Structure 1
Amino acid sequence: MNTPIPYGRQHITQEDIDAVAEVLRSDYLTQGPKVKEFEDAFSAYVGAKYAVAVSNGTAALHLNALALGVKPGDKVITTPITFAASANCVRYCGGQVVFADIDPDTYLLDIDSVRKLLEASPKGTYAGIIPVDFAGRAVDLEAFRALADAFDCWIIEDSCHSPGGYFIDSKGKKQHCGNGQFADLAIFSFHPVKHIAAGEGGMITTNNEELYKKLLMLRSHGITRDESLFENSIEFASGNLNSEPQPSNSSYPAWYMEMRALGYNYRITDFQAALGLSQLKRADEGLKRRQEIASRYYQTFKDLPQVTDRNYEVDKNPQHSTEYRPQSGHAYHLYILEVKNRLGLYNHLRENQIFAQVHYIPIHLMPYYRQFGWKEGDMPIAETYYQNCISLPMYPTLGLEQQAFVIYMVNSYYR
């Protein structure tokens, strides 16, 4: 097969192009109505009260850390198996990142490892926890919320891999990623390889109105036009300090605004919002296709001796025979295998125009984080995972013939 097969890619339709073109012909390219429209639609999609669209997922994480008041010296726990931004947002605020190991079966942040860290120090030692819905598998945030509450910690849910994903809570109810029921804040990314592509872009969701208002201000230079938050007088705002007092019914002039905090320009454009909104309309369709691709991969690789495929769940109902199947609630941003001779397989696939990827190099072993004392052996499960993991192509437009070729090339390498 001569056409390269990447591990992930965007799917742009004529409807997407038309949506962007419509905004380009409109009066607003940024700070216009399309951003709020996208926010409202996205918050409804995940089931959260509020959504704030921003320039990218990293900006979303940074704003979350700022809104939650992370300050120099604050300790925050996260996973070493994620993109660096999940940890870097703490460093941007001067906080201290503390890594906890992953669960070997799910690759998610291991709650028992987090509990050990929290119990080993006085309450108040840690400010927060950042679990990641890695590869599309949803974290059990109900359990993390109970743990966080016991130790006075906030939670940021990094859901960049999992729009549409969910876990089942203790009452048997689906809890969708980013719905604000258990995490204080959640974030999503609209990078081209994600479920919803907007070129770049990110979204923050929350059910906390106070945090929502902070985020709106911090997103745009720390400036607000909300009169209820103004500190300067109407006389000052009107430029009438040396004149007669203003009438009692006077109001702030339309031009007036106040900078109340040191914010950032993390705004998203209207044409990005239009693209994201158009893509959101077929998000469920894309998610269904990802699940179909996952099912085909799983049925192929579950019995291959050189491969460990953990993209399943076990039906333990005593009335059923034990059955393994692709995991419900998994959004399948990535399809990860643990394999023998990973480098050999990786090179074999590349030689045949299949561009698999590795997610991720453990963050604690990056040179930047090694300077804080992290070393090999600190996260043994994460490090073992890294030695063997590989991400196969996974995106809705991956054709049956293309997937068959990927499967053939993996099998041909081992057999």
Structure 2
Amino acid sequence: MKTKSLPYSRQVIDEDDIEAVVRTLRSDWLTTGPKIEEFEKRFARDVDADYAIACSSGTAALHLLYIANNIGQGDSVIIPAMTFLATANAVRHSGAEVIFSDVDPDTGLMNASHFKDAINRSTNKKVKAICPVHLNGQCVDLSSFCNEIDKIIVFEDACHSLGAFRLSRSGQKFRVGSCSLSKATMFSTHAVKAITTGEGGIITTNDENLALRLKKLRSHGVVRDKDLGNNELINLDEKNNFKQPWYYEMRELGFNYRLSDIHCALGISQLKKLKYFIERRNSLRQRYESYLKCLGKYVQPLKLVRNCTPAWHLSVALIDFDALCVSRTEVINKLRLLGIGTQVHYIPVHQQPYYRDRYGILELPGASAYYSKCLSLPLWPAMETEDVDFVMESLAKILGLTFEDNTSFDAKAN
């Protein structure tokens, strides 16, 4: 009888990570120190961006992006309904309104037709930005939006897709986070993401002025030293020291959205293992896919999107529970009794009471269809091949299904 617990996801922390954190704890800097800039520079390098700005959470990253781009009352932002609450909540915290787009029922991703539909529903609303969400590890085809977007700022919510590549129509590869077709990209470094800092977020951009403003807003809107510019109080003396080194100015209302050196030390260590983490996640997810394709028409893996090399964050099965005459709740609870944790990503945000009360009942059939079928299966880099086998054998039994072709799964997964 298997007793191993398999949550839907978990962090992978090794001795190198622990030692990196301990070294910082023993240093002079626990926050506002050198590890923050080091983490930002390494992250920017790894995603081919000019700048990276670390902050306290993915939600904080989104909020900072909207505020730094002067999005507020009277503006609207288009986001997909299939995402975590934070994508929408940050819009509202900035004072702007949310316009929800539908998504593809087989991928959970928005596309150009969904964007057009959202625009058509935005009558009398000033659409200032769009924030597509790269879901589960796959990428939205941003190039398909290019001819549709005019004077609308593009942000990318890439919390699920660190390490993925977008492919241009000419075949050129761009890292998610390189901001080749957007003004900025934001990531989360929550415990179950591709890398973790415990809690945390990070924004990448190639816009120097935006990067400077994000850093200022991240820390109360305060500027110091050389960032004060032409100010007599900070002129240098004959020894090249600031005459008034204590002086600072708050030039706009900011926040305390800083990430500490402790968090960043862990992030630096985790970044060194990102390639391995992605390779392992992708391999395990491919094994899941081999199983899912053999369970008949009512159970399928996510449809693979064109123009993307994924970095799988979640392994999602699309299950027609109604056709199989079984409830998702029943399946989840029976798997839990076997030590197998699953999750649903996500309840469509437009169905949440706050947004339903604010915007009324919206008919977004793609999001509803995706939500009705999605089930996230256990996936993290330290899982073993045998864990996937156990999960899939258990799922098939609970669904009352047999594998149509149960031979050579090792060959299919390789």
TM-score normalised by the chain length of structure 2? 0.89
Contact map agreement 2:17 2:266 (CA 8 A) in 1? yes
Shift of 1:116: 3.0
Alpha-carbon separation, structure 1, partners of 2:347 and 2:293 = 25
3-state SS, counterpart of residue 316 of structure 2: strand
**1:147-192 CA distance string (max 9 Å, x none):** 32x2x10011000101101121122111211111111111111111
Are 2:3 and 1:2 equivalent residues in the alignment?
yes
Shift of 1:121: 5.8
Contact map agreement 2:111 2:144 (CA 8 A) in 1? no
Gaps of 5+ in 1: 239-245, 315-326
Give runs of aligned pairs for residues 3-402 of structure 1, distance below 5 A: 3-118=4-119, 125-148=126-149, 150=150, 152-225=151-224, 227=226, 229-230=228-229, 233-234=231-232, 253-305=244-296, 306-312=298-304, 329-339=309-319, 340=321, 341=326, 342-375=328-361, 378-402=363-387
Alpha-carbon separation, structure 1, partners of 2:188 and 2:227 = 32
| Counterparts in 2 of 1:186 and 1:252: CA distance versus 1, 3 Å | farther
3-state SS, counterpart of residue 6 of structure 1: coil
**1:318-349 CA distance string (max 9 Å, x none):** xxxxxxxxx96111101111112322221221
The Cα RMSD (Å) is 2.2
**1:278-320 CA distance string (max 9 Å, x none):** 0000100000001110110111111312302224368xxxxxx
Contact map agreement 1:57 1:201 (CA 8 A) in 2? yes
Alpha-carbon separation, structure 2, partners of 1:210 and 1:216 = 10
Shift of 1:374: 3.0
Alpha-carbon separation, structure 2, partners of 1:136 and 1:5 = 20
Q: Report the counterpart of residue 395 of structure 2 in structure 1.
A: 410
**1:48-100 CA distance string (max 9 Å, x none):** 00000111111000000111111112111001111100111110011000001
**1:208-264 CA distance string (max 9 Å, x none):** 111101101000000011545457x526x79xxxxxxx99x9965111111011000
Alpha-carbon separation, structure 1, partners of 2:167 and 2:125 = 30
Alpha-carbon separation, structure 2, partners of 1:146 and 1:43 = 28
Question: Once the two structures are aligned, what percentage of the paired residues are identical?
Answer: 40
| Counterparts in 2 of 1:175 and 1:250: CA distance versus 1, 3 Å | closer
3-state SS, counterpart of residue 358 of structure 2: coil
Alpha-carbon separation, structure 2, partners of 1:127 and 1:389 = 31
Shift of 1:146: 3.9
Contact map agreement 2:221 2:255 (CA 8 A) in 1? yes
Alpha-carbon separation, structure 2, partners of 1:121 and 1:357 = 33
Contact map agreement 1:35 1:270 (CA 8 A) in 2? yes
Contact map agreement 1:34 1:270 (CA 8 A) in 2? yes
| Counterparts in 2 of 1:230 and 1:170: CA distance versus 1, 3 Å | same
Amino acid at match of 2:90: C
| Counterparts in 2 of 1:195 and 1:120: CA distance versus 1, 3 Å | closer
Q: How many residues align?
A: 390
Alpha-carbon separation, structure 2, partners of 1:345 and 1:121 = 39
Alpha-carbon separation, structure 2, partners of 1:261 and 1:252 = 24
